[in-house]
Amino acid sequence: MEAAVATEAVDVRWDGVLVNARLVTLTGDAGYGVIEDGALGWRDGMLAFAGPRATLPAAPDALADEVVDAQGDWVTPGLIDCHTHVVFGGDRAGEFEQRLQGASYEEIARAGGGIVSTVRATREADEDELFAQSLPRARALRDDGVTTLEIKSGYGLDLENERKMLRVARRIGGELGITIRTTFLGAHALPPEYAGRADDYIAAVCAWLPTLHAEGLVDAVDAFCERIGFTAAQTQRVFETARALGLPVKLHADQLSDGGGAALVAGFGGLSADHVEYTSEAGVAAMKRAGSVAVLLPGAFHVLRETTLPPLDAFRSHGVPMAVATDCNPGTSPLQSLRLAMSLACTHFRLTPEEALRGATVHAAQALGMPDRGRLVAGQRADFVRWRIGQPAQLAYWLGGDLVSAVHAGGRAVATDL
């Protein structure tokens, strides 16, 4: 009898237990899924337990050596930023000033500024410099609760520099202890050396992709389908190359005009259509059929002072999940807090704070094709954040501020402020 008890105790021994927490589990399709006086247990980076403390199978210190008292903090799943361009060289504060004096984003891009000016600065930086410039942005996102971060290439625009960006992205994950998903965005802008030869450039992009994929640098493929980006036919060629390699696709779709981008990416069973300000109802219906997520990027909407709202009612009525991301980039969204993106989504797009939180957790996980995270439930990754707040709506309510007590990724505390 005694031997049997001892064996059982060994079997359930976890790496860590957190008690005295108010859990926002986000289980179920609506509501925060609050568990007052909750507890978490984790082992091998995964949650072994998420529930009321009273239902723990044994006393906390019998379950794990590491017992964390959350001191009544609210605890959410780790935030997931599913659309960023945090790796880049230089900045575009000068362009910000030009726009304030009346120049439009498209005018600046057509005059050789915009994305192409960041391409110059990114090419000039060697891998260590690019890492040093990019790391603080990723760290700021993590320290405000992000445990999974998507990072796109797209400022290299040749094989060597796209590789450099993707390698820097991977290195950031190792440095910060969070999960990085890399996205190849070779079809972001036309580099100057291909001026007037966009189809040739797309052929080059399609040739680089298998090489970068073979080097383990690519988790997904994206493109900028827009008047100042690439046509639907060019985007399609990139997607066909991705499909042949078994890589998932997503798209910068219908940001500045309705180019049918949402329907195009849905036709490839895409993970997400992003921006989607100008997406038509037919595009929304196609996304629903394909299971594609709508990734809302209110930072870019805000900075460009856009006025055309994404078709939010159509997303809701068709049941298309909405994610929220920072789009952190030097041109249209120099935004280094996913919570601030949540706040902007509430103010500009009228999301509820709960929709915004789901958008930065459950739905963002779906937009990355990562069903193992985004909720607090046994079997999910032990990615969670302790917040010093009085109620969950405060996550979207405060514009900035230091609300984090601790960020845990795979159970491990990767950032603390206690």
Residue ranges that bind ligand DI6, judged by CB under 6 A: 85, 114-115, 118, 188, 224, 252, 255, 300, 327, 329-332
Nearest approach in angstroms of CB 331 to ligand DI6 is 2
Nearest approach in angstroms of CB 249 to ligand DI6 is 15
Whether residue 270 contacts residue 292, with contact meaning beta carbons closer than 8 Å, is answered with yes
Burial class of residue 160 in the structure, from the number of CB atoms within 10 Å of its CB (0-12 exposed, 13-18 middle, 19+ buried): exposed
Cα–Cα distance between 364 and 3 in angstroms, integer? 46
Q: Kindly tell me which of 258 and 327 has the beta carbon lying closer to Fe ion.
A: 327
248 binds, among Fe ion, ligand DI6, none (CB under 5 to 8 A by kind): none
Nearest approach in angstroms of CB 323 to Fe ion is 13
331 binds, among ligand DI6, Fe ion, none (CB under 5 to 8 A by kind): ligand DI6
330 binds, among Fe ion, ligand DI6, none (CB under 5 to 8 A by kind): ligand DI6
> Locate tokens 């498209």: which residue?
106
Nearest approach in angstroms of CB 253 to Fe ion is 11
47 binds, among Fe ion, ligand DI6, none (CB under 5 to 8 A by kind): none
Whether residue 42 contacts residue 381, with contact meaning beta carbons closer than 8 Å, is answered with no
277 binds, among Fe ion, ligand DI6, none (CB under 5 to 8 A by kind): none
Nearest approach in angstroms of CB 276 to Fe ion is 12
Tokens representing residue 17 in the block: 């237990």
Q: Kindly tell me which of 91 and 175 has the beta carbon lying closer to ligand DI6.
A: 91
Q: Kindly tell me which of 70 and 271 has the beta carbon lying closer to Fe ion.
A: 271
Please tell me whether residue 198 adopts helix, strand or coil conformation.
Answer: helix
Q: Kindly tell me which of 223 and 360 has the beta carbon lying closer to ligand DI6.
A: 223
Q: Kindly tell me which of 147 and 255 has the beta carbon lying closer to ligand DI6.
A: 255
Whether residue 375 contacts residue 361, with contact meaning beta carbons closer than 8 Å, is answered with yes
Whether residue 34 contacts residue 52, with contact meaning beta carbons closer than 8 Å, is answered with no
Q: Kindly tell me which of 224 and 384 has the beta carbon lying closer to Fe ion.
A: 224
Whether residue 279 contacts residue 258, with contact meaning beta carbons closer than 8 Å, is answered with yes
Q: Residue 23: what residue type?
A: L
Cα–Cα distance between 367 and 273 in angstroms, integer? 9
Whether residue 81 contacts residue 340, with contact meaning beta carbons closer than 8 Å, is answered with no
Cα–Cα distance between 346 and 237 in angstroms, integer? 36
The beta strand positions in 123-234, using DSSP E, are 146-152, 179-187, 220-225
Nearest to 405 by CA among 24, 149, 73: 73
Q: Kindly tell me which of 325 and 407 has the beta carbon lying closer to ligand DI6.
A: 325
Nearest approach in angstroms of CB 87 to ligand DI6 is 12
114 binds, among ligand DI6, Fe ion, none (CB under 5 to 8 A by kind): ligand DI6
Q: Which residue is nearest to ligand DI6 (CB)?
A: 331
Q: Which residue is nearest to Fe ion (CB)?
A: 327
> Locate tokens 């993707």: which residue?
166
> Locate tokens 């195009």: which residue?
264
The count of other CB atoms within 10 Å of the CB of residue 280 is 16
Burial class of residue 6 in the structure, from the number of CB atoms within 10 Å of its CB (0-12 exposed, 13-18 middle, 19+ buried): exposed
Residues of this chain that bind Fe ion (CB under 5 A): 327
386 binds, among Fe ion, ligand DI6, none (CB under 5 to 8 A by kind): none
CA dihedral 6, 12, 18, 20 (to 10 degrees): -70
Tokens representing residue 54 in the block: 């009273």
Nearest approach in angstroms of CB 84 to ligand DI6 is 10
Q: Kindly tell me which of 81 and 258 has the beta carbon lying closer to Fe ion.
A: 81
Cα–Cα distance between 83 and 395 in angstroms, integer? 19
Nearest approach in angstroms of CB 149 to ligand DI6 is 16
115 binds, among Fe ion, ligand DI6, none (CB under 5 to 8 A by kind): ligand DI6
Nearest approach in angstroms of CB 252 to ligand DI6 is 4
Q: Kindly tell me which of 144 and 274 has the beta carbon lying closer to Fe ion.
A: 274
279 binds, among ligand DI6, Fe ion, none (CB under 5 to 8 A by kind): none
